[in-house]
Amino acid sequence: MRQVPLSVVMLLVWAVLALAAPWLQLHPDRIDLTHILSPPGDGALLGYDDLGRLIWDRLVLGARSSLLVAGAVVSLSALLGIAVGVSSGYLGGTWDRIAMRVIDIVLAFPGILLAIALAGVLGPGLDNVVIALCSVGWVGYARLARGQVLALKHRDHVLAAQALGASQLRIMRQHLLPLIAAPLLVEASFSIAAVVLAEAGLSFLGLGIQPPAASWGSMIRDGTRYMLVAPHMVLAPGLALLLVVLAVNLLGDRLRDALDVRGR
């Protein structure tokens, strides 16, 4: 029997905990003043935070927040970026020049700094975090899709479809998009890790998910004030963030190797 990769197991644990969080008996906002900064033990798997709240419960809610943001941002960014990249690469002309100038402008700014600026303008909150990250995340898909389409648009099967009178939309949807799906899927897998880190970073700065909602970034920010007396407040969300990002990157590497026909 083929062994399941450890990265897949870690991602499944992340997803299951995040999706099952509403049905678990969690009390992430319950304050117990008698257990402020208590270490792991005494019925608390990961200890308590500075307000006497269970860190495990808040960690699971943070996993749900990161999964929701990652899923929404990657899906919306991929849809927008692929649509822009495929259409600009195939149609060319004025639309291609306009699309490339917009992409160049977005890429002229560091992605995380632009996301911070947009989150600061829009204000904190889950919806605004998704909008801010989507605003900078779509360009990677657009550039990749455009480059792939430029290499395929003059292939024989595309020229044959044009000669048979197929519409431009049908050619892009049926003759080009399936051929570029593999690199786009790999790009999406790596984007998940980047989005999880970006959401944690925005929440750490106070521009992301707001209290009392839980986020790994805000948990790390709150724990930095008690590093010497309660290091478990930082270690728990920090290790969770590390494991999830590492697992996603490892899975992306395996997916890239599996889809690379030339490397076999």
> Could you tell me the residue range of the domain that residue 95 belongs to?
69-259
**Residue 85 located in a structural domain:** yes
For residue 43, pLDDT beyond 80: no
What does the alpha-carbon distance between residue 152 and residue 184 come to, in Å, rounded to a whole number?
15
Q: Is residue 5 part of a domain?
A: no
In a domain, 40, yes or no: no
199 in any annotated domain:
yes
Classify residue 191: in a domain, yes or no. Answer: yes
Contact present, 232 and 46 (Cβ < 8 Å): yes
How many Cβ atoms are within 10 Å of 163's Cβ, its own excluded?
A: 8
Tokens representing 68 are 């929701």
Number of domains in the chain: 1
Asked if the structure places residue 206 within a domain, the reply is: yes
DSSP state of 145: H
Residue 9 lies in a domain: no
CATH code of the domain covering residue 83: 1.10.3720.10
Cβ atoms 49, 223 nearer than 8 A: yes
Residues 182-218 pLDDT 10s: 889 988 988 999 999 999 999 998 888 888 888 999 9
DSSP string, 55-88: HHHHHHHHHHHHHHHHHHHHHHHHHHHHHHHHHH
Rg of the chain over all Cα atoms, to the nearest angstrom: 22
Q: Kindly report whether the global pTM for this prediction surpasses the value 0.85.
A: yes
Q: Is residue 30 part of a domain?
A: no
Give CA angle at 216 (213, 220), nearest 5°. 110
Burial 222-236 (b: 16+ CB within 10 A, else e): bbeebeeebebbbbb
pLDDT tens readout for residues 47-94: 899 888 999 999 999 999 999 999 999 999 999 999 999 999 888 888
